[in-house]
Structure 1
Amino acid sequence: MLALAFIGDLSMGRPTDHSHRTAWLAARLAAEDGGTDRDCQSAHDVSLLRWSGCTANAAGFDQLLGDDVAGRDALFEMTLPINAERAAAIVPLAEIHCEVSGEIASQLGMDDQVEAGLRNIFETWDGRGNPGRLRADDVPPVVYHVALASDLEILSRARGLEAALEKIASLSDEKYPAPLVQRLQRTAPQWLATLDENQPQGPTQDLTLVGRDVPLELIADVADLKLPWLAGQSRQVAACAAATAAQLGLDANTQALLQRAGLIHAIGRAALPNHLWERTGRLTAADRERVRLMPYWTFRAASHIPVLKAEADLASYAYERLDGSGHFRSLSAAALTVPHRIIATAVALVALRSPRPWRPAFDAAGAAQVLRDEAAQGRFDAEVVEAALAALAGSRPRTPAKAAISLSAREADVLRRISLGESNKEVARVLEISPSTVRTHIESVFRKLECSTRAAATLKAFTLGLI
C-alpha cells in the first residue's frame, strides 16, 4: 500500500506526502461524522489507494491534456478549464481508474468497504460523478470522507486555508453533503496545524495498514500500466537480473534482492509525463534532464517504503554506466558493484528486446551486438553482458499459472496484444483475423475476467498468471 501511495502521488503531480496527509485527515473526518473504527480505517486505506489507478489512464490523460502529470495536478487543484468536450473525454478515463484501483484493492485483500469506495471514488452528491452517476446517500460515505480530506489537503497548499474552505463550501450539496462540509469547517484549522507539526510519513499511530501479503509483481504491473507498451517488462527485468546473478555464481540472497529490485525499478517513471517516453525525435536538453530523474524518484521511494529500502536503492542504479555517462548519479566503474552492473544490464537488454514507439524490437542477435558494442566502449561490464545474454538465451517463456479462470489460446493471444496498447485493427493484422473476431474475443475475455476496461483486464491477467 505504501508503494502504491508513492506511485499514485507521483502520477498525480502531488507532493509525496499527499496520500499520507489525506489518510490522516480522512480518518478523523470519518470519526467526526460518527463513523465506527472500521469506517475510519476504510477512510485511511482508501486515501492511500485512491490514486492507485492513475498509471492505467496516464496515456489517455497525456493525449487529452498534453501532460498527464501536470494536467491531472491542475485538474485536482481545480484550475483546469473543463468544457463539455473535455468533460466527456474524462468519463472513460475515470472508469479505467476506478476499475483498476478496485481490482488492486481486491488483490490486496482489502475490506469490502475499501473496494467499494475505490470503485466509486469520483461519485458526487449531485449525481454528476463517475463512474456510475450515483447520488446522495447511494454514494459510499467513505467517498465523501476521502474526497473532502483530499480537496482540503490539495487546496490549502495551493490557495491557503481560508480560500480552500471557501471553495469547499461552494461545493456543498454538489460534490459532498453540506453537513459534512460544516463539520470539516469547524475542525480543519486545528487538524492542519497538527499535521504541519507532525508530518505523517507512514500509517498513522492509531491506524494500521491492513490486507494480505501479495507478490511484489503487483507493484511492477501497476507501474508498467503507465505506458501500454511496457506491460510485463518489469517482470522480465526482474527475471533477467536474477538469472544473470545466478550465471555469475552470486548467492541466493543477492539473486533474490536483484529480482525484487527489478520489479520496482520503474516506479520512478510515474513522476514523468508519458509524452517524454513516446517521442520519436530527439529530446530537448530540458527533457533529458527530466528523464534523468526517473531513477532518482525510485531512490526516493526508499524513504517512503522502509521495507523496500535495499531494493529501491539498488533499483536506482538501473541507468548508471561504467564510463560515468549514466544517471542519475553519473557514477563511474569504481563506484559500481556487480549487482549495480547487473541491474543496469538487465534493464538495457530487456529494453532492446522490446518494441518502442520509435523502433521495433531487436532480435536476439541484434540486441547482443548492441550490448557487446556498448561494453567494448566501456559503458557495460563485458562479463555481466555475456552472463545476461546466456541467462536470456536459457530462459523459458512464462508458463501460465493454473487459475480458476481459463482463456482459450486465441483469447490469450488477443489479450497479450491489447495489453501492449494495440488497437483492434493492429491485433487483427498481427494475428491475421478480422477486427470483428478480435472484438468478440475481447468481449469474452472481459466477461471471464469480470472487467470492462483493457487496463483492468491486463492487470488481472498478469496477477492471475494468464499471460
Structure 2
Amino acid sequence: MTRREEGRDPGAAPAPAAGPRRETGSIRPAVDLNLERALLETSNQLLVGLDTDGRVAFVNRTACDVLGWTEAELVGRDWFETCLPPAWRRTVRGVFQRAVAGELELVRLHENPVRTADGRERLVVWRNTLLRGDDGAVRGALAAGDDVTERRRDEDALRLGEERLAALLELTRRHDESEQEFIEFALEEAVRLTRSRIGYLHFVRDDQVHLDLFTWSKEVHAGCTAQKLPHYPLTQAGVWADCVRQRRPVVHNDYPGLPEKRGLPEGHLPILRHLSVPVMDGARIVAVAGVGNKDAPYDASDVRQLQLFMQGMWSALEQQRARRRQSELLDRLARTLQGAIDAISRAVELRDPYTAGHQRRAADLARAIAVEMRLDAERIEAVRTAGSIHDIGKLKVPTEILVKPGRLTTTELGLVQLHPRTGFEVLRPVDSPWPLADIVLQHHERLDGSGYPSGLHGEQILLEARILAVADVVEAMASHRPYRPAFGMDQVLEEIRQQRGRLFDGDVVDACRRVFLEQNYQLLPM
C-alpha cells in the first residue's frame, strides 16, 4: 500500500481516469500519479470531478483557465453555486443528485453555460460519467467538457446573417407595396430578428433636430393606448432617442432602473429592455429604429443585427423611392410625348380634312390587332404610337394634292408616296423606346415587294409595320373619300382576306378578321 493509500477505506471509489490534482476523502488515484498529472495537464478539455455532494474534487489546468479560478480556489467548493449561472443551478443540481442516487440515468452528453470568476458566461458541451467504488457504489462523477462559446457564437452569427439576408431579400420583393406597408413589414422583421416583442421606426428631419414619428410594431398598436404624437423636437424625446443624440447604438438592459428616463406616459406598454440604433445615410441620420423587451439582455450581436438590417432596409427603401420617382418621371414624359403626338396628328389632319381622324382610328385598330396577336405590352404601345403619327410625312405634301377630289397624276402620286420617307426623316432624331421611324417608313411596304418606298419583302418588314399596313388599309377603305364612297366592312374584310399572304401578313389578316368578326370591334367614330 502506498503512502497516499494509507488510512483510506479499501472500498473507496478510485479517482477518475484523468486523476486528481488534489485528493478528497472519497476519491483516490487509480493510476500512477505522474501519469495522471500528465494526462490532466495536456488535455484540451475541461476535466472536473465532483463528489456525491456536488463539491469539486479535482480540476485540470484547462478548466481553471476557462473558469478563471485557481485549483486551490475551486477544490472543495460547491460546483453548482460557484460555476453555474443562477438560472441553471437548481435544474442541473437536481439531475446530478438523482443520478447519484440511482434514480435516473446520468445524461451522457449535454451543454450548459458556466459562470467564470469575473461573472462572464461560457458555453460548454459536457460528456459525463459516474465514478464507482469497488463495491459498485457511486462515489462521484467525472465531466469532460469542450468550450464551444466561440464556435456557437460564430454559428449564431452565421444563422443571424442568413436570417437577415433572407429578410432583406423579401424586402426587395415588396417593391410594389406602399411605403407604409414596406416599412411596417421591415419593422416586424427587425423585432423578429432581435427576438424582441416591440419596436418602432421614426424619421429624423434634415435639420437633425426634429423627429417625425412614423410607425410602431403590431404589438404596440394593439396594446398601447398612450397618445402618439406625429412629431416633436429631439430635445423633448426620451432616452429612446439617445442614439440620435450620441450618434451610436444605445442599449438599456435595465430600462426601469434608468435614473435619467422621463417616465412613460399613461397607457404606454411597459419597457424592460430597449435597444435603439441610428439609421445613417452617409454622415446624416435619417431615422431611428428601436426594439424592446427581449427576454434576455441585448448584446453586441443584437446591436449588429439591428444596425445591418435597418441599414439594408434604408437602402431598399431609397431604391424603391428612386424607382417610383423614375416611374413618375417616365409617366410624365409619356404624357408629354403623347401630347406631342396628338398635336402632330391634329396638325396633319388640319391639312387634310377629308382624312380627319384616320390616324387615330388606324392606330386604335392596330393596337387591337396587336393585342389579339398577343404581343407584349411594349410592342403593342409601339404599334399604337406609330399608328397615331404614321402620316406625319404628309406635312410636306402640298395641301392642294391632299384635298384634290379626283384621281392624282403620276407626279402627284409620287409626291404623296414620299410621305413615309419624310416621316422617317422627321422621327429619326427622336429618342424613343420604340422603332417609330422605321415603322412609319415601312407601313406602305407589301409582302410581295410591290409596296413603297423601299420595295421590301416578307420578313424584311417589321411586324409592327405589317400590322399598321393592314389597319391603315382597313380604316381607309371603310371611310368616305371625296372620290369614292366608303366600302362596307364585309367587303373590306374580304378584300384583305384575298390579299392574305401576298400583300399582307397572313397572321395579321387573321387577327384583324377575328377582332371584327368574333370581338365585334368597331372603328372609333370620326
What TM-score do you get using the length of structure 2 for normalisation?
Answer: 0.34
What TM-score do you get using the length of structure 1 for normalisation?
Answer: 0.38
Larger radius of gyration: 2
Higher relative contact order (CA 8 A, sep 6+): 1
* Higher share in helix: 1
* Higher share in strand: 2
